Structure 1
Amino acid sequence: MFTDLQARSRIDFRAATRDGEAPQQTRAVARESTWRQLDCNERAASETIAISRWEDARDISSHQATTPEDRYFVAIALKTTRAKLSRDRQIIFDGTMPAGTLYVSAPSKPLAAQFQAPCAFLHFHISTDHFPAGLPAIEGLDNLVLLRDPLAAELAKALTEHGDAADRPFARCIGQTLAMHLTRLELPRAKVNALPKWRLRRIEQYVADHFDRCISLSELANVAGLSRMHFAAQFRAATGYRPREYLLNHRVEHAKTLLASTERPLAEIALAVGFSTQAHFSTVFKRISGQSPARWRLASKSQRFEVEASPRRRPSADGDWIASAAA
């Protein structure tokens, strides 16, 4: 069922239209009005795996929650965001969290999260019964952050593509597969320190200024003030990307802006964002986005036309960002 595992592929987050939404109590995937808070109804309490969806359209938001004593909390990012996760005064993660990132928190553990960009997540609230004591991987299932986990990305994609049409048996199968995946993880023995934030900002700015030309690993390492080996390892620990992957993703994101906002030919856009040929541009674009540049441009125009053609709703006084996120 889950083939073509692509860690680089962008997960499209398709929310159901308001008119066709199923009632909250009948959904296999509940929508959270408050971060990580599920409605404590009888059915949710009896399920060993409850799944919910959280989306926040704000540029900056802060949240706090404590995992129940009989559950593990697992989150899968549906789109790239910037996040800072902390417990007490300990920073667990601080940086770019790509789509497909997996985060796990153990039972009875508090967590504070600050998102510095709009975000969308699937949340899995999994009973401790799915994690038998004694398994080697269980000890590592706290404050675990796996950037762009391929299987987690595909599981999330399969579930979100069904939207409100997903039934409970299908959602339960997805949750059980994820739980089994976590029990079989082979965690790295040696932890690599992430690239310090000030060095990362320097690299991000340098790539933003020079992405339209060839940038070597040695060049980026010099900007960061590190050896090639140390820079590559620390950069990947901080971002989830190899330096080359990060550069290609930056080029593709800039290309999307040009595709959506201009009528420039594909060959011209390829050269503008740093590719030497249109063929190489199309290959990389499809690998990262899942569509060719031409198809992506057509889909973008269709989506924009639908948004412009849809009737405007009268804005409410409160909770507008929640309503727009759920629409």
Structure 2
Amino acid sequence: MKFNPGKGFQFDIGPLPDFVVPHGRTQVLGTDNFMVGRWRMGSNPEGHSNPGLNHHLIAVCLAERGAVFELETDRRYIGQMRFGDLSLLPAQVPSRNRWTGPSNTLSLHLPVSLWEEIADRHGLRPELLRPGMPGTDAAISRISLMLAEELERPFRNVMFCESLALAAFAKLAERLAGQGTGRREVLADWRLRRVADYIEENLGAALSIAEMAALAGLSRSHFSQAFRDAFGMAPHQFVMVRRIEHAKRRLRMDRESVTEIAGSLGFASHAHFSGVFRRMTGFSPGEWRRGAERP
């Protein structure tokens, strides 16, 4: 099965068995930078073969007690999967999988070129990503759970999903390199201003990490951490803060409907906007407009 979610990369996950289906309301989500899907898997004692993916695969178990899982490449790996346990399958590695008992898994699909960027960022040789079942990583588990929850939201934030996926990939690199942090780029003032101005001018657009990273002259893997160091928050959080600040000013002017403001600032609906506005201010847009608070 092939997915072409963006313009620059097609994810080929090979033949999908009948007993592997998207989990509940969750659909597969992807961009040029990554693809992620949450899957429900029935028991598969007979096994399933794959001639090799065109990308790296990191699978995270989201069940408290998952299936007994077996991964066979040039070696054989087997274990009882529990919440947060990882399974790694690099690109172009033929494999055979077997598992007994139902399970649910978050699969993060990582293009080879992006992994090379991330590995370079951490001073890591890309080929250190090897097949196996390396156990649980607490940070990757937390990120994966946040990502799974965001995928189930009716108005999920794609840029937030992208930031979480990049964070998971970076944590994997840190684990493989045996380090807590990598080298950090510092965003020069003019780069900060260029990115901040772009965000202000495009608050109603579907902004992406790739666009902002290109403006800053950094790779995607460098940009998110450099932005957080500079602004004290992740890019998706900064964008949402700026959208809500613009909404506050426009609500006070009392010239536009809440629906018009929501649509022009990139929210999927009146309900989506109202939920985010209340979460960030403590008031509904209508309450704010009526003068509940005037900071």
Provide TM-score, normalisation by structure 1.
0.40
Greater length-normalized contact order (CA 8 Å, ≥ 6 residues apart): 1
| Structure in which a larger fraction of residues adopt strand | 2
